[in-house]
Amino acid sequence: MKESLKKNSLPVIKTDACSCCSKKAVDLIDLPQYPITEFYTDNPVSNNLYGFYDQKVLFCEDCAHLFLSTIIDPDIIYNNYITSTNKSNGAVECLKNFESYILNSINLNDYSSIIDIGGNDSTFLSFFGGDIENLINIDINATAKSDNIILHKSSWEDVDFNQHNSQKPKIFTSSHTIEHLDSPIPFLEKISKSMKANDVFYLQFPSLELLVKEQRYDQLCHQHLNIFSLKSIGIALNQCNLYINSYEFDPSHFGTLRLKISKIKNKILDFEIISKSSILHSYVDFQDFYLKFGDSYKKILADGQGFGAGLMVPTLAYNLPIINNLQVIYDQDRSKINKRFINLRPKIKDSKYMDITKPIIITAISTKAATRSIFNYLSSNKFKKILIPTITT
C-alpha cells in the first residue's frame, strides 16, 4: 500500500459516464496532481511528498450530477480505512440531526429493525438502543461497543437483507456512504428489492446544491466519487422503483442532503436545478477567495502554525498553498502526534505546545461543526489572532 502510494501508482479506473443515466458527461474542473486524503506517515522527512493523482470533475447536464473521473481502487482504500465516526464532532452532530429527522417523520414503535448500511463504529445505531428490537450494522469495518447491535463485517453486496424480515416493517438507513460508491444503482436496486410496501429508507449524503451555494470545493476528495443533486438522486432512485417522500438540507457536515424514501409514489417535489454555469461561477469565486486569502496572510503565516490535522487538510492545502508552508499543525488526537500527512510538509504536534502570542490558522475546516469547535477552543486559550479560511461560516 505505502509503496504504491509513494509511486502514485494505486490502481485507478477512468470514467466519463454518469452514474445515474450512463450518458457521457462533460469535463468541468481539472485538478492536476490532486492529493488523496486521510493518510499519515511517521517519516519526519518532508522532501519526498507523495499521494497525488490527476483528477477531473465531470458534470451530467441531463441529471445535474457531479462526479469524479478517476477512481482509486476502493478495495485498497477501505481495507486500510482507519476513520471512526465517534472521533468527529461534525459527523456525530450530523447523525444526531439524522436521528431527529427520522423520529419526526415516523413512529418508531411501528418498526422491528433498523438496518444501517455503512454504519462504521455503530455510533448512529447506538442512539436507538432499547427503542427497537433489532439494530443491524452492515460495514466491512463494522464495530460496536454494545452487544445488542448485530454486526455484518462485510460489504453490502454480500449480505442478504431479507434474513432480518419480521411481521413489522423495517427501516433502512445509510449515512454518508452512497457518495463512496462508483456504481450506486446496484446498491439502490438491492435495497428496493428487499423493501416491502411499508418499509422506509432514510438516506443522507453530501449535496451538490450546498457544495455550490457554500462554495466548498475543498470538500472534493478521492473518496467522494459522486456528488448527488436532488434531481440526480431522484433519477437514480426512480430507476429502482424508489421515491422521495420528503427531504431537508443540513449545511453543518459536508453540506448534507437528507431524504425519506419509500416504494410509494409521491407528488413531484419542487427543487432548484443546478446548472453547469452555476457550478463554474461558484468555483471561480471559490478560487478567487483562496487566492486573495493566501496573498493577504502569506507573510504572517510563513513558518507559522495551524490547528487541526483533520482528514481533509490536504485538499485545503491544494487550494491554499500557504498551509503547506506552515512549520507545524497542532492537534489533540494523540494518534496523530509526530506524524504528518503523506502529501504535506508540516509536522503534527501536541496542542499543549501552541504559541498563543502568534497568529494561528484553523486547518480542519471540512465541516462547520469542526470549525466552530476549534475556534471556541482557540478562543478559550486566549489567542489574539485566529484565521478561518472559509467563505461561509
pLDDT band at 1 (very low <50, low <70, confident <90, very high): very low
Query: 291-346, pLDDT tens digit by residue?
Result: 999 999 999 999 999 999 999 999 999 999 999 999 999 999 999 999 999 999 99
297 versus 391: the higher-pLDDT residue is 297
Question: Is 140's pLDDT higher than 80?
Answer: yes
Q: DSSP secondary structure string, 252-297?
A: TBTSEEEEEEESS--PPPP-PPP-HHHHHHHHHHHHHHHHHHHHHH
Q: Which three cell numbers stand for residue 198?
A: 411499508
Query: What are the start-end ranges of the H helices in 163-205?
Result: 184-194
| For the chain, counts of helices (H) and of strands (E) | 10, 20
Please state the rounded mean pLDDT for residues 21-29: 96
Amino acid identity at 254: F
Kindly report which listed range (80-89, 131-140, 195-204) carries the lowest average pLDDT score. Answer: 80-89
Check residue 290 and give its pLDDT: 98
Could you give the percent of the chain with pLDDT greater than 70? 93
Answer CATH for 300-387 from 2.40.160, 3.40.50, 1.10.10, 1.10.3470: 3.40.50
Mean pLDDT of 146-175: 90
What's the pLDDT at 85?
72
pLDDT at 8 over 80: no
Using alpha carbons, select from 225, 272, 226 the residue that is nearest to residue 247. 272
Residue 83, pLDDT score? 63
What pLDDT score was predicted for residue 76? Answer: 65
85-276 matches 300-387 in fold: yes
> What whole-number distance in Å separates Cα of residue 163 and Cα of residue 3?
41
Q: Look at residue 221 in the predicted model and tell me its pLDDT.
A: 94
Q: State residue 368's pLDDT score.
A: 84
| pLDDT at site 2 | 53
pLDDT at residue 288 in the model: 98
The per-residue pLDDT of the chain, averaged, comes to 91
- The pLDDT of residue 7 is above 70: no
Residue 52's beta-bridge partner residues? 35
- For range 195-208, the mean pLDDT: 96
Q: Which three cell numbers stand for residue 259?
A: 431524504
Q: What is the pLDDT of residue 6?
A: 61
**pLDDT at 312 (0 to 100):** 94
* pLDDT at residue 4, as a whole number: 59
Q: How far apart are CA 34 and CA 39, in angstroms?
A: 14
Element containing residue 166 per DSSP (H, E): none
Residue 230 in contact with residue 257, Cβ under 8 Å?
yes
| CATH, range 85-276 | 3.40.50.150
Higher pLDDT, 268 or 321: 321
pLDDT tens for each residue of 227-255: 999 999 999 999 999 999 999 999 988 89
Percent of the chain with pLDDT over 90: 76
| DSSP collapsed to 3 states, 27-94 | EEEEEEEEECCCCEECCCCCCCCCCEEEEEEEEECCCCEEEECEEECHHHHHHCCCCCHHHCHHHHHH
Name the residue with cell 473518496: 223
Domain spans of the chain?
2-69, 85-276, 300-387
Neighbours of 323 (CB within 10 A): 23
Residues 42-101 have pLDDT tens digits of: 988 778 899 999 999 999 999 999 999 999 876 666 665 556 676 777 789 899 999 999
- Of the ranges 9-18, 34-43, 315-324, which one carries the lowest mean pLDDT score? 9-18
Mean pLDDT of 185-200: 95
